[in-house]
Amino acid sequence: MGSGQYIQNRFITRFNITSLILEADFLTPYDIILQDVKGRFEYFAGDIGFGYDVLNKPNVNLFVLGGFKFIYMYIGLKTTVLGSYPIEGERSKWFTDTMIGIYIRYRPTKRLELNGYGDIGFILGDEVTAQLIGEANFFITPWFYVAGGYRYWYLNVPKEEAIYNGQITGSVVKIGFQIH
């Protein structure tokens, strides 16, 4: 996962990129029929937003953003039936979507920054995407920080196009730097 932002005056450009690859050998209750079941799931997604600071206070900023998202998913499966007949299948799908979002940044001290981000994708297709990210940045120096937080990501696409419908959630830990 990678993220970044550029702020100039009251304008912001912000991006997130995430990649995930899972490979596994599966055990099934049908081992007599299906042997050597192997699967692969790939996920690559990102978003870029452009916005404006609608609440420009000394310690608080609230940005309203618009932009777009992209999502690529792939699933592949290989197995052998009755030890002699190989079967392979795969499917991949690209989605692009416009999005709107908000980003709030609160700096109670010089060393602590609390951030919240949320967006929802809409319009270009039948898919619905959303994400929420909350994190706390602790600045070790004015340029270098460590962060911890939580991310929630949701995807729902029409069943006939779906490779994955659901959510990915979890803790976020990162190391970062900023240039003044």
The pLDDT of 46-61, averaged and rounded, is 95
Q: Among 34, 47, 56, which Cα is nearest to 3's?
A: 47
What domains does the chain contain, in order, with CATH numbers? 2-177 (2.40.128.90)
Identify the band that residue 29 occupies on the pLDDT scale cut at 50, 70 and 90. Answer: confident
pLDDT computed for residue 123 by the predictor: 59
pLDDT computed for residue 125 by the predictor: 66
Mean pLDDT for the chain? 89
DSSP code of residue 1? -
- Cα gap 86→20, rounded to integer Å: 27
Residue with tokens 């929420």, as numbered in its chain: 132
- Cα gap 58→133, rounded to integer Å: 23
Residue with tokens 């992209």, as numbered in its chain: 70
Q: 121-177, pLDDT tens digit by residue? A: 875 667 788 999 999 999 999 999 999 999 998 988 877 777 888 898 999 998 988
pLDDT at 178 over 90: no
Name the least confident of 11-15, 50-54, 79-83: 79-83
Number of helical H runs and strand E runs in the chain: 0, 9
Q: Which helix (H) or strand (E) holds 144?
A: strand 144-156
Identify the band that residue 10 occupies on the pLDDT scale cut at 50, 70 and 90. Answer: very high
pTM of the predicted protein model:
0.82
Greater confidence, 11 or 30? 11
CB neighbourhood size of 5 (10 A): 17
